[in-house]
């Protein structure tokens, strides 16, 4: 984190959230679910057994608040991200509660060499993933999530990444991705020096 770049960070909070903490919002959602459905919100994963086949499936617990991280460009605006969130609300019923743009994070390709700074430009979006009319969570399948990525690229005027169905690549967890990327960049710098 570069403290000299912190002033470039931006934050937005939905007017409907106001000064309410996310913990309090979670409690409000739990009360809304109880009121609308007559049941407590299912927060824990549970197993469901098919009586005919004996097959066990895991039913995921409710996660009414979700956070997504999106890659942005240097000139990405809060207005573009808000537009993306509004389109998501209209299309899938999910509501953005907070958006944070981070322009101060990144890494040095060669530690100690400030000229090799590589920013990790991204934004965090915190979503309310519940339908407040029914008390049920919004369901987005793999196809919808892929559509969301395409929509994001359009809203931010960026090139859409290649689908993992086409590349055959597996998803890497954050830390594994960072290590793989740093290794790739270090090898590239080494090859350039040797050349």
State the Cα–Cα distance between residues 185 and 188, nearest whole angstrom.
Answer: 5
Mapped onto helix, strand or coil, the DSSP state of residue 100 is strand
Sign of the CA dihedral 11, 119, 175, 92? positive
E-state strands within the chain: 10-13, 46-49, 56-59, 65-71, 95-102, 106-108, 117-119, 122-128, 130-131, 136-137
What tens digit of pLDDT does each residue of 18-76 get?
999 999 999 999 999 999 999 888 878 888 888 889 888 887 777 899 999 999 999 99
State pLDDT tens for residues 79-125: 999 999 999 999 999 999 999 999 999 988 887 788 888 999 999 99
Q: Indicate if the pLDDT at residue 13 is higher than 80.
A: yes
Joined tokens for residue 73: 């460009």
Of 37, 87, 83, 84, the closest CA to residue 64 belongs to 37
CA angle 155, 173, 107 (to 5 degrees): 75
Cα-Cα-Cα-Cα dihedral of 15, 17, 18, 24, to 10°?
170
Number of Cα atoms under 13 Å in the Cβ half of residue 176? 4
Tens-place pLDDT, residues 164-177: 677 777 777 778 88
Output the pLDDT for position 112: 77
The reported pTM is 0.78
pLDDT at residue 8 is higher than 90: yes
For residue 129, pLDDT beyond 80: yes
Give me the pLDDT at residue 159, please. Answer: 87
């Amino acid at each position: 984190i570069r403290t000299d770049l912190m002033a470039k960070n931006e934050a937005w909070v939905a007017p409907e959230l106001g000064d309410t903490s996310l913990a309090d919002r979670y409690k409000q959602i739990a009360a809304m679910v109880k009121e609308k459905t007559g049941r407590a919100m299912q927060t824990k994963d549970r197993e469901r057994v098919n009586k005919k086949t004996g097959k066990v499936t895991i039913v995921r617990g409710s996660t009414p608040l979700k956070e997504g991280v999106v890659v942005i460009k240097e000139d990405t605006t809060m207005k573009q991200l808000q537009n993306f969130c509004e389109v998501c609300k209209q299309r899938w019923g999910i509501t953005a509660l907070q958006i944070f743009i981070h322009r101060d994070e990144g890494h040095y390709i060669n530690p100690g060499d400030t000229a090799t700074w590589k920013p990790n430009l991204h934004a965090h979006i915190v979503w309310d993933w519940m339908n407040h009319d029914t008390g049920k969570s919004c369901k987005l399948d793999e196809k919808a999530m892929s559509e969301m990525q395409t929509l994001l690229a359009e809203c931010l005027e960026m090139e859409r990444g290649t689908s993992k169905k086409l590349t055959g690549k597996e998803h890497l967890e954050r830390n594994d991705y960072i290590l793989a990327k740093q290794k790739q960049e270090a090898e590239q710098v080494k090859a350039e020096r040797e050349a």
